[in-house]
Amino acid sequence: MPREKIKVALVGFGSGGAIYHAPLLASLESFSLTAIVTSKAERKAQAISQYPQCEVFDNLDALLEASPRLGLSLAVISTVNSAHAENAIRCLQAGLHVVVDKPFALSRRQADSVIDIAKSNELVVLPYHNRRYDSDFLTVKKLLREDREKLGKIKSITSRIERYREKPKPGGWRETTKQQEGGGTLYDLGSHLIDQAIALFGAPLAVRASIKQIRGLGTDDDVSLTLVYEELEYHIRASMVCPTPGSRFEIRGDAVYIKEKGCPQEDMLRAGMDPNHAHYGLEKPEDWGYIRSETAAGRTSQPYAPAAAGNWQNYYRQLAAHLDSPKDAPPPVPVEDALIGLSIIEEALQNGQK
């Protein structure tokens, strides 16, 4: 007997909801994208056009009032960062499981409140860290866990997302909203890179940070972190003001792994590719990373093939399995990892502001 579909409400239909959530949810058999919340007329028209099966609501109050009639069981929060925790709490109190886009909350204390309410209502609340399912990260994970001997003793890892915009893009609220309200590069790009480090190595022993405001927009736009672990240092670079972006990953050991380009999924979704397309998430061979080593015969470079195609659908596939059988199927991202990430962000903000 087929499992009943999980009826989902998507709360927020900006770039996050429209690009990073709705196409994935609509493409999977386990889910039924049933409702969308957006207050802006142009986004409402887009939602109705792209997802005619959905009811579209102006606000969360209207959605939660209609939730029993619609049979909703899951809410995905993709609103402005400052509203993540509040909206998650309201949905949990209405009896819905919740997925919260990054950052999960603006502080560890705020996140603890969300988690406590989920536990008291016997509901699931999880952070949405889709970049654990990037092709570049999956390849690094395979290299470190299965082929580590190819690199020898690892001394450092550098992970970057660096961009250059002299001025923020139109509607780019993340680049102009104050840190206290969840704006800036640390909460945005930094959250992804910090979570990937946590997925590989857990909580660091120490955090060093440099957080700068280069463009004078009232929030940070250039971030450098070093997460100190027992055997290596994990360097993070997230910037909106880097005119010469560096490679996506560098792993330095006795040999060096270099991955220049990142995962292609975002570009594919922006171009309208169906996540079920056979080529979705696949890197071109010329974009693969490579291992460079020095030998007596000279320098050699060998391509290192991706472990798998990037696939953000797998976050939601794993979520569906977890909701169906929490004891047997682990969550796609443990909520405890969100607490570690927020602790790192808080330490970075305390020690690294410039």
pLDDT at 167: 87
Which tens digits make up the pLDDT trace of 210-257? 999 999 999 999 999 999 999 999 999 999 999 999 999 999 999 999
The count of C-alpha atoms lying within 13 angstroms of the C-alpha of 267, restricted to the half-sphere facing its C-beta, is 8
Q: Phi first, then psi: what are they for 268, rounded to 5°?
A: -65, -45
Q: Is the pLDDT of residue 298 over 80?
A: no
The answer to whether 17 and 36 have CB atoms below 8 angstroms apart is yes
pLDDT at 2: 53
Q: Is the pLDDT of residue 332 over 90?
A: yes
Q: Is the pLDDT of residue 121 over 60?
A: yes
Write the burial class of residue 56 (CB in 10 Å: 0-12 exposed, 13-18 middle, 19+ buried): buried
Q: Other CB atoms closer than 10 Å to residue 119's CB: what's the count?
A: 13
Which residue type, as a one-letter code, is found at position 183? G
Domains in the chain, CATH or no CATH each: 6-128 (3.40.50.720), 132-311+341-352 (3.30.360.10)
Residue 353 DSSP class: B
Specify whether the backbone of 172 is left (phi greater than 0), alpha (psi in -120 to 50) or beta.
beta
Q: Is the pLDDT of residue 153 over 90?
A: yes
pLDDT at 281: 96
Query: Strand runs (DSSP E) across 85-243, as ranges?
Result: 97-101, 125-128, 156-162, 206-212, 222-228, 233-239
Q: Is the pLDDT of residue 193 over 60?
A: yes
The count of C-alpha atoms lying within 13 angstroms of the C-alpha of 146, restricted to the half-sphere facing its C-beta, is 9
Q: Phi first, then psi: what are they for 203, rounded to 5°?
A: -75, 135
Name the percent of the chain lying above pLDDT 90: 88
Buried b / exposed e over 260-272, threshold 16 CB at 10 Å, is bebbbbbebbeee
Query: Residue 296 — pLDDT band, cuts 50, 70, 90?
Result: low
Q: Phi first, then psi: what are they for 13, rounded to 5°?
A: -135, 40
Q: How far apart are CA 18 and CA 290, in angstroms?
A: 34
Q: Is the pLDDT of residue 3 over 80?
A: no
**Cis amide bond preceding 103, omega within 30:** yes
Average pLDDT of the residues in 120-145: 97
pLDDT at 1: 44
Which tens digits make up the pLDDT trace of 94-105? 999 999 999 999
Encoded tokens for 228: 């100190």
Give Cβ neighbours of residue 208 (< 8 Å, ≥ 6 apart): 225, 226, 228, 351, 352
Q: Is the pLDDT of residue 352 over 80?
A: no
C-alpha distance from residue 28 to each of 161, 176, 181, 319 (Å): 29, 35, 33, 12
Q: For residue 315, give the nearest of 343, 354, 281 by alpha carbon.
A: 281
